[in-house]
Structure 1
Amino acid sequence: MSADQVQPAGRRSAWRGVVGFGLVSLAADMVYEGGRSIYGPLLATLGASAAITGLVTGAGEAMALVLRVVSGPLADRTGRYWALTLLGYGLTAICVPLLAITPLIGAAGLLLAILLILAERAGKAVRSPAKSALLAEAATRVGSGRGFGVHKALDQIGAFAGPLLVAALLAATGTLTPALAALVIPGAIAMGLLLWLRSRTPQPVRDDQPHGSWWQDTIGSNLGRRFWLFALAAASATAGLVTFGMIGFHLSSTGLLPLAAIPLAYAGGQLVAALAALVTGLGYDRVGDRVLYALPLLVLLVPVFAFTRSVWAVLLGIACWGAANGVQDSTIKAVVADLTPRGRRATAYGVFAAVQGAAAVLGGGLAGLLYERSIPALIAVVAGLQVITVVLLLITGRSSPTRPPTVTDTSPKRPGG
C-alpha cells in the first residue's frame, strides 16, 4: 500500500477514535453533568450550608484531579489504559444514579450524598489520564487542537442533554429522586459504547526509556520546565474558577430561578463550553497557545456576574463559566499532549491534573467562605489569581521559541507562544 493510501486510512482510524471517545463522553456526561447540575440544590435540600457545599464540590473536583497523580503513572507503567478507563467510567455510571435515594433516607442522606459525589469524582481520577492518553494517540494525528476540540464538543452535547433531562423530570415530578434515577440509562449506554470502542482503538506507544521511581513519576521530575510553568498557569486559573455548585447554591438560596430551571441554566453553560472548545481548538492549531489568554478574563467575569441579584447577569456569568470550562477541558489538554512524549502522556496528564486539583480544593473552599462574608473580596481574590495566570502564560510562551502545531506533523510537538 502506498504512503498516499496509508495516510488517509490512518486519518480515518484516528477520527474514529476521536469521535468514538466523544460519543462515550457524550453518554457519560449526561450522567455526571445531569447530576452535577443539581448538586447545589440537592445538598441544600439535605441540609448543607454554603461552606459545606463549596467544600464538597471543590474537594470533589480536587479528588478528580489530584488522584490522577497515581493513576497516570500507573497507566504508563502497566499499559492498562483500557482497564483503568473502564473502571473509572463504571464508577460514574453507578454512583450518580444512586444519589436518587439520598432524599429518602433521612439524616444519613447528606453523608451518603457526599460520599457518592466524592466516589464519582474518584472514578474520574482513575479513568482520565488513561483515557486522555488513548485520545491523544488519535488526536495528534489530526491536529491536537481540533481533535480535542471535536471530542469536547461531543462531550458537551451530553453535558447539555443531561441537565435538560433532569430539568424535564424535575418539572414533571417536582422531586429530585426520579431525575437522578433516570441517569442510569445513559450510564449503561456509555459502558456499552466503551466496550465496542475498545477493540477498534490502538493502544498508546509504550515509552522505550526506563521509568524512574514511583516518586519521580509522581512529581513529574522529567517533564520539563515549560510543562511545569504551564501547569502552574492552569492551576491559578482553576483556583479562581467558581464551581457551578456554588452558582447553583446562589440561584437556589436567593430564589432567582425555580429549582427546575437551574439545570437549564447549567445546560446553557455547557453549550457555550462546546462552542468555546471548538473555537479555541481550531485557533490553537493555527496560532498556538496564544489563544489561552482569553481564559483569565473569562474566569474573572464569572463571580462578577454570577453572584448578583439579576437573573440576566447570573446567566451571563454562567456563560463565562461554560466558556472557561470549554477552554480548560479541550485546548489546555491539547497543549499538554504537545508538551510531552507519547509514552509519558498519562503520567503528564496525572501530574498536571494533580496541580490543578490542589488549586481546586483551595479555591472551592475559599469561594464558599468568602461568598458568605464578602462577594467583593471574593472577586478581588479571583482577580489576583488571574493576574498570576497571565504572568505565567507570558513566561511559558517566552521560555522556548516554538511554532504552532500542524495537522500533518504527528511527532510530539510543542505549542507556539
Structure 2
Amino acid sequence: MLGAWRFVTVFGTVSLLADFVYEGARSITGPLLASLGATGLVVGVVTGIGEAAALGLRLVSGPLTDRTQRFWAWTIAGYALTIVTVPFLGVAGTLWVACALVIAERIGKAVRSPAKDTLLSHAAAVTGRGRGFAVHEALDQIGAVIGPLTVAGVLAVSGNNYGPALGVLALPGVAALALLVWLALRVPDPARYESDRDATSPPAATSAGTPTERPAPLPAAFWAYSAFTATTMIGFATFGVLSFHMVTRGILPAAVVPLIYAAAMGADALAALASGWAYDRVGAKTLAVLPILSALIPAVAFSDQVWLVVAGALLWGAAVGIQESTLRAVVADLVAPPRRATAYGVFAAALGAATAAGGALTGWLYDTSIPALVATVAVIQLAAIGVAIVAILWRRRSLVTR
C-alpha cells in the first residue's frame, strides 16, 4: 500500500492529466459558443447549468456511492465520461450539440466527485486536511495550465480551428484513465489510511453501516456551512461569461483567451496552497477571503482595459482555488466517514443550484448593465458574510445552552 502523501500526489497526477483535458476545453467554451451564435445570456445559462450539473447531480451520486461503497468504480466512470465528451466538442457543428457536450462533460464530474473526494479525504486525514486537498488541487491546476496553453498553441497553428485544438486532448485523457486504474489496483481500500491513524475508529469495512441501519443525520454545522458557501456562489461569474466579454468587446483575440485561463489556473494553484496551509493553522475563518474575492471579480474583470480584465481573471482563478480545495477540506472535518460521500453530494447540490442561478444572473446582468452586475454581486457577497456571522453566533449559542 502506498504512503498517504504518495497516494495524494499520484491521485493529483491523475487530476493533472484530466484537467489537461477538460480545462483545456473550458478555456475556450465562451468563444466556441459565441462562434456558433450564442449570446452572453446563452453562455451564462449553459455554463451555469453545466456547473450546476457538475455539482447538483452529486446529490444522487453521493448517497449512491455511500450505499454501494464502490468508490473506485464511480471515480473511474466519471473520469471516462469527461474524457470521451471533450474531443467531440471540437467537431460540434451546431450550437445545441456544443451546449449538450459542455453539460455532459460536467456530468462526468458529478459522477466521480463524491467518490474521489472521499477517497482523497482518507489520505488527507494523515497529511492534514488543508494540506492534502491543497497539494492535490495544486497538481490538478498544473494540468489546468498546460491544457489551455496547448489549446492556444494548436489554435494559433491551425488558424483558430477548434477541432484539432480539442482533439489533441484525447491523449492525456487516455493516460489519466490508465494511471487511475493502476492506483485503484495498488490501493483498493484508502479508508485504511484514516482507520490506521486512529486505532479506536471502526474498521473501514463496516464504517458505512449496513443497508438496514438508519443513517445518522448530517450535523447542523454542515448545513450552516453549506448555506454560506451557496450564497457566495450565487454572486460568482463563470469564466464563460468572462471570456465572452474578452472576445465580444474586442479586448483580446480568441487565441489569447486560453493563455489568460492558464494564468488564472496558476493563481488557482497558489491560492489553494495558501488557503490550505492557513486552514490547517487558523481554521475555517480562512474562508472569509472568498466573498471578498467574489465581489472584486466583476468590478475588475468586466472593464474595457486589458490589464484590469487580466487581473480580474487572476482573481477569479484565486477564488476557484479556494473553492476547489479548502471548501472540500472543511466538509471532511465536519462529517464522519460513514456519511462523507453523501455530505459531499448534498454540499455540491447546494452549490450547484447556486451556481446555476449565478451563471444565469451574471449572464443576464452582463447583457443588461455591467454596473448593475457589479453592484448586485457586491450585495450578494455582503449577504454571504452575514450568513456566516449568523451561523457562527448560532453555533456558539447552541454550545452555551447545552
Report the AA paired with residue 23 of structure 1: T
The alignment-based identity, stated in percent, is: 51
Map of 1:79 onto structure 2: 69
Map of 2:60 onto structure 1: 70
CA distance in 2, matches of 1:183, 1:350: 28
Map of 1:154 onto structure 2: 139
Map of 1:180 onto structure 2: 166
Query: For each residue in 1:116-153, what CA deviation from the matched residue of structure 2 results, as whole angstroms up to 9, or x when unmatched?
Result: 11111111000000000000010111100000000000
- Is the 8 Å Cα contact of residues 267 and 314 (structure 2) preserved in structure 1? yes
Map of 1:191 onto structure 2: 177
CA distance in 2, matches of 1:146, 1:399: 29
CA distance in 2, matches of 1:310, 1:82: 46
Map of 1:36 onto structure 2: 26
Matched, 1:207 2:207: yes
Map of 2:194 onto structure 1: none
Map of 1:278 onto structure 2: 273
Please state how far the C-alpha of 1:166 moved relative to its aligned partner: 0.3
Please state how far the C-alpha of 1:299 moved relative to its aligned partner: 0.4
CA distance in 2, matches of 1:65, 1:233: 16
Matched, 1:91 2:86: no
| Paired residue secondary structure (2:126) | coil
CA 1:89–1:208 in structure 2 vs 1: closer, same or farther (change >3 Å)? closer
- Is the 8 Å Cα contact of residues 230 and 392 (structure 1) preserved in structure 2? no
Please state how far the C-alpha of 1:176 moved relative to its aligned partner: 1.2
CA distance in 1, matches of 2:125, 2:307: 40
Query: For each residue in 1:352-388, what CA deviation from the matched residue of structure 2 results, as whole angstroms up to 9, or x when unmatched?
Result: 0000000011110111111011111111221121112
- Is the 8 Å Cα contact of residues 299 and 324 (structure 1) preserved in structure 2? yes
CA distance in 2, matches of 1:176, 1:348: 38
- Is the 8 Å Cα contact of residues 207 and 344 (structure 1) preserved in structure 2? no
- Is the 8 Å Cα contact of residues 57 and 107 (structure 2) preserved in structure 1? yes
Report the AA paired with residue 54 of structure 2: A
CA distance in 1, matches of 2:98, 2:212: 39
Please state how far the C-alpha of 1:209 moved relative to its aligned partner: 4.1
- Is the 8 Å Cα contact of residues 231 and 381 (structure 2) preserved in structure 1? yes
- Is the 8 Å Cα contact of residues 149 and 259 (structure 2) preserved in structure 1? yes
Structure 1: 5+ residue stretches without partners: 1-9, 402-417
- Is the 8 Å Cα contact of residues 39 and 245 (structure 1) preserved in structure 2? yes
Report the AA paired with residue 383 of structure 1: A
Counterparts of 1:209-228 in structure 2, within 5 Å, are: 209=209, 222-228=217-223
Query: For each residue in 1:217-264, what CA deviation from the matched residue of structure 2 results, as whole angstroms up to 9, or x when unmatched?
Result: 7xxx81111100100111111111100000010011011111110000
Give the TM-score, by structure 1 length: 0.89
Map of 2:13 onto structure 1: 23
- Is the 8 Å Cα contact of residues 148 and 331 (structure 1) preserved in structure 2? yes
| Paired residue secondary structure (1:89) | helix
| Residue of 115, 118, 137 corresponding to 1:133 | 118
Map of 2:306 onto structure 1: 311
Map of 1:359 onto structure 2: 354
CA distance in 2, matches of 1:184, 1:370: 36
Structure 2: 5+ residue stretches without partners: 192-203, 397-402
- Is the 8 Å Cα contact of residues 230 and 351 (structure 2) preserved in structure 1? yes
Map of 1:110 onto structure 2: 95
Report the AA paired with residue 225 of structure 2: F
Report the AA paired with residue 100 of structure 1: G
Map of 1:238 onto structure 2: 233
| Residue of 160, 164, 167 corresponding to 2:152 | 167
Give the TM-score, by structure 2 length: 0.92
CA 1:399–1:13 in structure 2 vs 1: closer, same or farther (change >3 Å)? farther
- Is the 8 Å Cα contact of residues 55 and 365 (structure 1) preserved in structure 2? yes
Please state how far the C-alpha of 1:207 moved relative to its aligned partner: 3.0
Query: For each residue in 1:386-411, what CA deviation from the matched residue of structure 2 results, as whole angstroms up to 9, or x when unmatched?
Result: 1121122223444556xxxxxxxxxx
Q: Which moved more, 1:198-207 or 1:128-137?
A: 198-207
- Is the 8 Å Cα contact of residues 35 and 180 (structure 1) preserved in structure 2? yes
CA distance in 1, matches of 2:208, 2:292: 41
Map of 2:292 onto structure 1: 297
| Paired residue secondary structure (2:318) | helix
